[in-house]
Structure formats: structure tokens, C-alpha cells
């Protein structure tokens, strides 16, 4: 699954995923099921849209006051007895964490889910420095045992079948061969990871929200792995992107009402833990990480991506993500949000990602903090084309698409031609000019366009 070459682009990697059609269908359906659970959860909240507006407004306020909020957060956290570190980039973040581990002379630690540490490649860094990191989220542990990165920010092993997990556990944990029962496998993982919890002196966690007013951090999990790790360790290291701040404690209500409902359709995660002061005798560190965030804040069109609360809803709804799999994005954060975050870190390396979208806008519709994801995808395409980081084939496609979308009459005409073309030469559409037609049959074209159908129907009334 791994071994993604940086020279391959998203389309090539998606093609690999698409070779197993049954698996793609299953992946697609599973994620759509989660999207539907999200819808049902959202519909139970009459204030849902107002909450999204409010969350977005709070994040706007954060992004326009971040300097002062960080200073307040730091002062409060220090008053609470927490050591605050500042890391300008991934490397500095990794060094800071490693220094703390060195001082405590530990060679094995537990870590709960943190997309920031994935972004910084902390596990690899620590591995190279002789420290073993045990990921304690079940899904993350599964992909870790398999030597893979997570394929989804909330559901790290969503691309794995239970039979494969059974075989993986048989190999690594010694479970009986052929046992693929989720309850049995989860129990085996519980026993296996309990040993790490009981013996680890240091626990690393991510941060869902940091509160500028109080200096506390909030970590949300369903499994309880963050809490178990922290409460049994002598040292807690929390790694946090600077954009995770919110102004006041009371604002947590807005975000916690949105987060789990958007992510999995649950009313709230099982645990929403507020760490304000370390437990007696414990050492607590917070590492504040920039790693390109302040640079992004300067770009009016792209800074809204920093509002992301990592719920994963945009991935679950994305027709491209669902049918290409998280690994096809080759970045710690996959899907629509990853496709607008990655290019600001390295435009050349991730030039392909903003093109891995149909621009259908479903991502923006579900995003709990109302990030205009699909518009940013479109804007990134233009920036990337201007910078010359795009292959010839795509350049032609974009030029044509831009031409079509900017001229309504041509759009109508092209639609008619397209429908005629599909009917006349159904297999020709699946050619090399149209990369989206790879690995799939084109659907039967409708005899009428939606526009004409609408007009005809209106006339009939």
C-alpha cells in the first residue's frame, strides 16, 4: 500500500486503488454511510446552520487576533504549571519532543491521535533517534503495525478489511489464524496496548482546542486512549498547531456540538477532556507549532483553511476521496482539506492535489466551520498553473474547463454536444483525454439536460 513515489501523481495512485473494484465500491459505500449518519445528527439540531456560522465567525476572530491569543494562552498555561514551547517548523517540533524524551531517558512512548505529529513526521524522526512510538488509537495502531500512514484523519484504517486485520494481528499479536471478528480483535488490541499504557512514562497527545482565556487544552477521543496514556504517565506532551486556539472556554460549546456530529454522526465523542493543570507530580508540556501556518495567514484566499477542526466530513462526502482512497493523496491529511493544505507546504510536490476534485462543492456544504474548500481548490489550480507546476495534459483540461465555466452559452452547447457524443461513442469517452473515465464505464447520458428539463417542465405548468 505504501511506497508511493513522489513522482507519481494522484491520478496514478488512484488508479492503483481502483484496480480492486469490489474494494472501491465497499470503501465508497462505507464512507457514504458515515456521511448519512452525519446528516441525521445535524438534522436533530435546529440551530445547526447558526452553529456553523458562529464557529466560522469565532475562527475568523482567532485568525485576526492570533498574536494576542497566543500570548494570553502561553501566560495562562505557564500559570497552570505547564511548560510552553514554540516550534517554527516540523524539524524544531520534533527536536523539542526528542529533547524532552532524552531528558527522561525513555525509549518507548505512547501517543494518541495527532494529525500534527503526522504532518511533522514525528514517528519517523523518533524512530531514527532510537525511540519507539506506540500509536494507541486502534485504527492508527493497525496501520502502524502494517507500516502504513493513516488513510483518513478520523478513521485511520477505513481502507482495511476485517480479514486483513485478523491476519495482521495473527502475525503481530499472535491471535488465532482466520479470526476476523471485530469484537475479538478489539479485545486482543486492548490487551496488547494495555501493556504499553502500563509501562510508558511519557504520553503524547494532539490538541483539538486550546483556550486562550484559561490556558487549558481539550482532547477528544472515543476510545479513552489519550486519557489513559496521560493519566498513567509522568510526562504529558501535547502537540498543537497554533490555529487550534479559541478565545474563551464558553466557545467550546459551539465546537463540541459540531465536531463529533460532523465526524461520525455521534452527539459527542465519548471523552472530551479538559487538561488545565498537570496531575500532581506530573510534567506537562505544550508545543506550539507554526510550520507554514503564519505564512498561509497572509494569503487572503487560502487562510480560511486554518479554521479546520479535522472532523473528516469533507472526506466522507467527497466522490473523489471515496473512490480513490486516502493514500492516493500522499499527504498526512487526505481528501479535499488535505488538497488545499498540502500545496501551501510544498506547491511543487503537491501540485496534483487541487486537481483531485470534481469541484462539486459537497465538501464546503458539510464543513462545520464553513471553509470554502471547493473554491480554494479552484484558486489553487490557477496559482499552480501560473507557477508552471502542472502537466500538459491537465493544462489543456483546465483551459477548456475555465473556458466552459466562464461562458454560459458555451456550457449549454458543450452539454448538448457531450450528451450526443456519449450516446454515439460510449467507449470513446473512456479515453486518455478524460482521466476521470479511467476504471469506469461512463453512465448512460440523459436525453435532456437538467436545464432543458426544468424549462420544459415550467412551461407545462
Binding site for ligand SF4 (CB under 6 A): 262, 308-314, 337, 366-369, 371, 373
Q: Which stretch binds other proteins (CB under 8 A): 9-17, 218-226, 339-347, 451-459?
A: 218-226
Q: What is the C-alpha separation between 420 and 411, in angstroms, rounded? A: 14
254 lies in the binding site for other proteins (CB under 8 A) = yes
178 lies in the binding site for other proteins (CB under 8 A) = no
Q: What residue 367 binds from other proteins, ligand SF4, none (CB within 5 to 8 A, per partner kind)?
A: ligand SF4
Based on CB atoms, which residue is closest to ligand SF4, 351 or 366?
366
138 lies in the binding site for other proteins (CB under 8 A) = yes
Residue 132, SS3?
strand
Q: How many CB atoms lie within 10 A of CB 420?
A: 11
Q: What residue 368 binds from other proteins, ligand SF4, none (CB within 5 to 8 A, per partner kind)?
A: ligand SF4
Place of cell 512510538: 133
CB of 203 to ligand SF4, least distance (A): 25
Site for other proteins in 344-403 (CB under 8 A): none
Handedness of CA 315, 321, 322, 327 (dihedral sign): negative
Q: Are 179 and 168 in contact (CB under 8 A)?
A: no
Q: Are 202 and 237 in contact (CB under 8 A)?
A: yes
Q: Are 216 and 208 in contact (CB under 8 A)?
A: no
Q: Are 223 and 137 in contact (CB under 8 A)?
A: yes
CB of 249 to other proteins, least distance (A): 6
CB of 307 to ligand SF4, least distance (A): 7
CB of 317 to other proteins, least distance (A): 16
Based on CB atoms, which residue is closest to other proteins, 13 or 152?
152
Based on CB atoms, which residue is closest to other proteins, 231 or 430?
231
Q: What is the C-alpha separation between 53 and 40, in angstroms, rounded? A: 19
Residue 432: exposed, middle, or buried by beta-carbon count in 10 A (0-12, 13-18, 19+)? Answer: exposed
Q: What is the C-alpha separation between 387 and 26, in angstroms, rounded? A: 38
Q: What is the C-alpha separation between 365 and 126, in angstroms, rounded? A: 39
Closest by Cα among 67, 131, 141, 70 to 95: 131
Site for other proteins in 195-214 (CB under 8 A): 197-198
Residue 388: exposed, middle, or buried by beta-carbon count in 10 A (0-12, 13-18, 19+)? Answer: exposed
Q: What residue 297 binds from other proteins, ligand SF4, none (CB within 5 to 8 A, per partner kind)?
A: other proteins
Q: What residue 337 binds from other proteins, ligand SF4, none (CB within 5 to 8 A, per partner kind)?
A: ligand SF4
328 lies in the binding site for other proteins (CB under 8 A) = no
Q: Which stretch binds other proteins (CB under 8 A): 29-37, 98-106, 114-122, 421-429?
A: 29-37
Site for other proteins in 82-121 (CB under 8 A): 86-88, 92
CB of 126 to other proteins, least distance (A): 20
The number of angstroms, rounded, from the C-alpha of 82 to the middle of its chain's C-alpha atoms is 28
Q: What residue 372 binds from ligand SF4, other proteins, none (CB within 5 to 8 A, per partner kind)?
A: none
Q: What residue 57 binds from other proteins, ligand SF4, none (CB within 5 to 8 A, per partner kind)?
A: other proteins
Based on CB atoms, which residue is closest to ligand SF4, 261 or 323?
261
The number of angstroms, rounded, from the C-alpha of 423 to the middle of its chain's C-alpha atoms is 39
Residue 390, SS3?
coil
34 lies in the binding site for other proteins (CB under 8 A) = yes
Q: Are 218 and 266 in contact (CB under 8 A)?
A: no
Q: What residue 312 binds from other proteins, ligand SF4, none (CB within 5 to 8 A, per partner kind)?
A: ligand SF4
Amino acid at each position: 500500500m505504501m511506497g508511493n513515489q513522489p513522482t507519481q501523481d494522484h491520478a496514478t495512485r488512484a488508479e492503483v486503488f481502483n484496480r480492486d473494484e469490489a474494494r472501491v465500491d465497499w470503501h465508497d459505500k462505507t464512507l457514504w454511510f458515515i456521511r448519512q449518519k452525519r446528516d441525521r445528527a445535524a438534522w436533530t439540531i435546529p440551530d445547526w446552520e447558526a452553529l456553523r456560522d458562529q464557529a466560522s465567525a469565532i475562527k475568523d476572530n482567532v485568525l485576526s487576533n492570533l498574536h494576542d491569543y497566543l500570548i494570553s494562552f502561553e501566560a495562562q498555561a505557564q500559570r497552570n504549571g505547564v511548560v510552553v514551547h514554540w516550534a517554527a517548523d516540523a524539524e524544531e517540533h520534533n527536536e523539542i519532543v526528542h529533547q524532552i524524551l532524552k531528558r527522561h531517558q525513555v525509549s518507548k512512548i505512547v501517543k494518541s491521535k495527532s494529525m500534527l505529529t503526522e504532518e511533522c513526521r514525528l514517528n519517523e524522526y523518533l524512530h531514527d533517534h532510537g525511540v519507539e512510538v506506540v500509536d494507541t488509537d486502534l485504527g492508527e495502531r493497525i496501520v502502524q503495525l502494517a507500516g502504513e500512514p493513516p488513510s483518513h484523519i478520523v478513521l485511520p484504517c477505513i481502507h482495511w478489511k476485517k480479514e486483513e486485520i485478523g491476519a495482521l494481528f495473527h502475525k503481530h499479536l499472535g491471535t488465532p489464524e482466520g479470526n476476523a471478528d471485530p469484537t475479538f480483535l478489539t479485545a486482543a488490541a486492548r490487551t496488547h496496548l494495555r501493556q504499553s499504557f502500563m509501562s510508558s512514562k511519557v504520553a503524547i497527545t494532539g490538541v483539538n482546542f486550546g483556550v486562550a482565556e484559561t490556558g487549558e487544552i481539550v482532547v477528544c477521543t472515543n476510545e479513552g486512549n489519550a486519557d489513559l496514556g496521560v493519566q498513567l504517565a509522568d510526562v504529558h506532551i501535547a502537540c498543537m498547531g497554533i490555529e487550534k486556539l479559541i478565545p474563551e472556554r464558553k466557545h467550546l460549546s459551539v465546537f463540541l456540538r459540531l465536531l463529533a456530529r460532523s465526524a461520525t454522526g455521534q452527539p459527542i465523542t465519548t471523552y472530551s477532556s479538559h487538561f488545565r493543570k498537570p496531575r500532581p507530580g506530573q510534567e506537562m508540556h505544550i508545543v506550539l507549532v507554526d510550520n507554514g501556518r503564519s505564512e498561509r495567514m497572509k494569503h487572503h484566499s487560502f487562510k480560511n483553511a486554518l479554521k479546520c477542526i479535522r472532523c473528516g466530513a469533507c472526506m466522507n462526502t467527497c466522490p473523489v476521496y471515496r473512490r480513490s482512497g486516502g493514500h492516493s493523496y500522499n499527504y498526512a491529511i487526505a481528501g479535499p482539506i488535505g488538497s488545499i493544505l498540502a500545496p501551501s507546504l510544498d506547491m511543487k510536490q503537491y501540485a496534483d492535489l487541487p486537481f483531485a476534485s470534481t469541484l462539486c462543492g459537497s465538501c464546503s456544504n458539510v464543513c462545520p466551520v464553513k471553509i470554502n474548500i471547493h473554491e480554494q481548490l479552484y484558486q489553487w489550480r490557477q496559482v499552480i498553473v501560473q507557477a508552471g507546476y502542472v502537466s500538459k495534459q491537465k493544462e489543456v483540461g483546465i483551459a477548456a474547463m475555465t473556458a466552459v465555466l466562464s461562458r454560459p452559452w458555451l456550457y449549454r452547447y458543450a452539454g448538448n454536444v457531450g450528451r450526443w457524443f456519449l450516446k454515439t461513442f460510449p467507449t470513446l469517452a473512456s479515453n486518455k483525454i478524460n482521466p476521470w473515465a479511467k476504471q469506469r464505464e461512463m453512465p448512460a447520458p440523459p436525453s435532456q439536460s437538467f436545464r432543458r428539463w426544468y424549462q420544459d417542465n415550467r412551461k407545462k405548468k
